Structure 1
C-alpha cells in the first residue's frame, strides 16, 4: 500500500494515493482509506470531495459496523476516464479502450501492417483510434489519452524502434510523433513487454498492485515485463526485459542447434519441418499467419498423442522454464504471468514446466510463486498500452520521480 503525506503542496500525489487505496481495497469507507494510507481523516475527506467533484469517485453503499451512523462506502467510477491503447506487432494492429477500473469497453484489430512503411501503418492506426473514440462517445474530459506499445528495443530519446528484428523498415522512425500528429495529441511510446506488466497490475488490482511480478510475453519472440513491489521496472532506457542474449548464453536444448531460441514459434515450426512432422514446404518466418497455423497444427497433433510433436514442445517448455526460473531468482518474484498471442497454444506445455521449475529448492526461501495466465485476455499489448496512460495519471509517485 502506498502511504500519503499531509503536506498540502502534494495534493495530486495524495489524490492518487486515495485512488490507489481504493484499487487495492475495493469499495471502502474514508476511515478505511485513512487507516491504509496514513493520511489524516481531514485530508482524506478533502481529497474525496475533490475526486467526487471530478466524477472519479462515487458513493456506492453503506456499511453498518456497530452503533452510530453507518459508514458510507466509496469506489472509483470506472467510466469517468477512458484510455486508448494501441499495440502494433509484426502481423497485427490492436486498439482497445480501457476504463479506470481496468475493464475493456471497446476493441478493434487489423492485419494491415506494412513492414516497410510505418507512416502508412500509423495513418491506419489513427483512423482506428478515431473510430473507437467515436464509438465510445468520448469527449475531451473522459478521454485520458492514447499510448502506443511496440516490440523493442526502443531509442530512449524519441521512442523510435531501434533495429527491430521483425520490422526493420521502421528503424529510427519516431512513431509516437507520427501518430500524435495524426491525432492531435501527445502519444507516448513504450515497449510492449513494459506495457504488459503495467496492464496486468492495473487490470488485476487488489493485492497484485504490490506484487513482484515477471510477465512473460509469448509472441513472435520472447520478452519479459518486470515489476518490483508493484512498480514497473523500466530500466535506464526503457528497454528492460530483453532476453535474447540470456537465451543464447543458456544454449540450446535441441541437438545440433546453438541459437538458444528453442521457444521461438518460428523456430518450433522449422524444427517440426526438419524432423518430418510437417513435411510440406516451410513458410518464411515473416509469414506470421502461416507460422501460427503450423504451430496450431503441431500443438493439436501433440494433444492427440503424437509423441514426437509432444517432445518438441516439451523441449521448448523446458527452455522457457529455465528462463522463468532465472528471472524469479533474480527478482525474488512472487508472481509469474504468461500472455501474448501464442500463449494459449503453448500453455499446456509451458505452464506445467514453469511450475515445476519454481518449486525447486532455492536460496530465495520457501515462499510460493504463482504461475498465472494474463487477466488481459488476448489483447495484452493494447490493454497494457492503455493502462500506461492510467498508470501515468493515477499511480501515486512523488513529484520528483519520473513517470
Structure 2
C-alpha cells in the first residue's frame, strides 16, 4: 500500500491515499483505512468527512464485532464521478463512460473511421460524445474529463500520433487539440497500451494495485503496457511498451514483411494467403473490416482442425510467449494480463503458450506468474482511456510527479 503523510500542503495527496486504500481493500472502516495507510485515525476521519461531503464516500453498513462499539463501514460511491474514454482503432471508434468503480455506464461505437481525414474523424468523435451527454447517458454534472487513446507512439510535445503505421494520414495531426476545442475541455492523448494497463489496474483494483503487471495488448498491432505496484511505467515520453524491435529479434519475418509485425493479424492473414490456407484474393490493408473477417475465418479454420492454420497461429503464440517471458523477467512481474480487440480469437493459442513459458525455470526467482484475461472485456482501449482520467485525479502521487 502507498503510505500517507501528515505534512501540510499535501491534503489532496492524503485524500487520494484514502481513496486508493478503499480501492485496494473494498468497503472498510476508518480504523482499517488508518492501519493500511499509516495515517492517524483522526486524519482519516477528517478526510472521510470531506469525501462524504463531496459525495465520494458513503456509509454502507454497520458491523458489530464482539462487545465493542459497532464499526461504520464506508465505501466509494461509484456513480459520483464519470470519465469519458475514446479509443480510435483503425477499424472502429469506441467511446465509453466509466464510473469510479470501473463500470461502463454508457458506450457507443462506430466503424466509420475516416483514415484520410483525421480532422473530420475528430469532429465525428466529438459529436458522438456530445450525443451521449445530450441523451442523458452521461451526467454532465458528474463528468470529470475525457481522454483519447491511440495506437502507436504519441508525440509528447504535440499530443499527435508520432508515426501512424495503420493510419498514416494521421501522423503529426494534433488530435487532442482538435477534440479539446470541440468538447470544450482538456483531452489528453495517450498510447493505447499505456491506457490499457492503467485501465486494468483501475477496473481490477484490489490486489492488482500491489502487483507488477505486464499487459499484452492484442490488436491491429501488438504492444505491452507495464505497471509496478499499480503505477504505470510511462517511459521518458509516455511511449513505453513498443515491441517491434523485440519481435524482430524473435525472428520469423517472411521476405517483404515489415520488421516486428509478424504477429499482427493483417500479416498473419497475408501469410495464410501465401501458404494457400486462404487462397481467396486478399483485402487491402486499409480495408480493416474485411481483414478482421478474414482473420476470424483463419482462427476458425485452425480451431476446426486445419493443421496449416493451426501451425501458423501456434508459431505466433510461441513468439508472443517468448516476448511475454522477456518482459516478465525484465520487470520481475507476477501478473500477465492479455486483452485487446483480437484477444478472444487468439486466446486458444496464446494463453497456453504463455502459461507454459512463464513456468520455465528462469532468473526471475521463485514467485509464480499468473496469466489471465483482462477484467475490462472487449473495449480495452476506451475503458483504459477513461481510466486515465480517474487515475490522474484519484491515484496518490507526489506533487512533483502529478499529471505526468
* TM bin (shorter chain): over 0.9
Unaligned runs of at least 5 residues, structure 1: none
1:284-322 deviations in whole A, cap 9, x for unaligned? 122111111111111111111111111111011001111
Partner in structure 2 of residue 181 of structure 1: 181
Q: Distance in 1 between matches of 2:54 and 2:198?
A: 24
Query: For the residues of structure 2 that align with 1:251 and 1:355, how far apart are their CA atoms?
Result: 21
TM-score, structure 1 normalization: 0.97
**Map of 2:24 onto structure 1:** 24
For 1:181 and 1:257, locate their aligned partners in 2 and report how far apart those are by CA, in whole Å: 39
The 3 A distance-change label for structure 1 pair 256 and 401 is closer
Q: 1:252-272 CA distances to partner (integer Å, 9 max, x unpaired)?
A: 176997845331111111111
CA drift at 1:55: 0.1
Q: SS where residue 8 of structure 1 aligns?
A: coil
User: What TM-score results when the alignment is normalised by the length of structure 2?
Assistant: 0.97
Show CA shifts across 1:335-374 (max 9, x none). Answer: 1111111111010000100111100001111211111111
Confirm or deny: 8 A CA contact 2:337 2:371 kept in the other structure.
Answer: yes
Instruction: Report matched runs for 1:161-172 at 5 Å.
Output: 161-172=161-172
Are 2:366 and 1:342 equivalent residues in the alignment? no
Q: Deviation string for 1:194-216 (max 9, x for gaps)?
A: 00000000000100012111111
Verify the 8 A CA contact 1:151 1:192 in the aligned structure 2. yes
RMSD over aligned CA atoms reads 1.4
Alpha-carbon distance, 1:219 to partner:
0.7
Q: Secondary structure at the match of 2:399?
A: coil
Q: 1:140 to 1:278 in 2, by over 3 A?
A: closer
Q: 1:244 to 1:94 in 2, by over 3 A?
A: same
Distance 1:258 1:136, change over 3 A: closer
Contact 1:248–1:258 under 8 Å retained in 2: no
Shift of 1:389: 0.3
Separation in 1, partners of 2:24, 2:133? 29
Q: Which residue of 1 aligns with 2:143?
A: 143
Q: Secondary structure at the match of 1:328?
A: helix
Distance change in 2, residues 1:41/1:170 (3 Å): same
Secondary structure, counterpart of 1:208 in structure 2 = helix
Query: Which residue of 1 is the match for residue 297 of structure 2?
Result: 297
Q: Deviations over 1:20-41 (max 9, x none)?
A: 0000000010000000000001
* Corresponding residue of 1:353: 353
1:321-332 matches, cutoff 5 A: 321-332=321-332
Residue 307, structure 1, aligned to residue 307, structure 2? yes
Q: Tell me what 1:374 maps to.
A: 374
Q: 1:120 to 1:367 in 2, by over 3 A?
A: same
Does the 8 Å CA contact 1:191/1:239 hold for their aligned counterparts? yes
Structure 1 residue 133: Cα displacement: 2.0
Question: Aligned partners of 1:190 and 1:295: how far apart in 2?
Answer: 27
Aligned to 1:64: 64
- Summarize the Cα distance change of 1:263–1:138 in structure 2 as closer, same or farther, 3 Å threshold: closer
State the distance in 1 between where 2:297 and 2:273 align: 12
Of the structure 1 ranges 331-340 and 241-250, higher mean CA displacement relative to structure 2 is found in: 241-250
Could you say which residue in structure 1 is the equivalent of 2:212?
212
Report if the CA contact (8 A) 1:56-1:77 is conserved.
yes
Deviation at 1:6, TM superposition (A): 1.3
CA distance in 2, matches of 1:142, 1:122: 23
> 2:324 aligns to what SS in structure 1?
helix
Aligned to 1:230: 230
- Over 6 Å off, 4+ runs: 253-258
The 8 Å contact of residues 190 and 385 in structure 1, kept in 2 or not, is answered as yes
What is aligned with 1:10? 10
CA distance in 2, matches of 1:22, 1:219: 33
Question: Where does structure 2 lack aligned partners over 5 or more consecutive residues?
Answer: none
**2:244–2:259 CA contact under 8 A, matched in 1:** no
Indicate how the Cα distance of structure 1 residues 178 and 258 shifts in structure 2: closer, same or farther if over 3 A, else same. closer
Look up the match of 1:92: 92
SS in 2 for 1:400: helix
Q: Distance in 1 between matches of 2:223 and 2:257?
A: 21
Question: In the aligned structure 1, how far is the partner of 2:258 from the partner of 2:93?
Answer: 33
CA drift at 1:138: 4.2
1:364 alignment partner in structure 2: 364
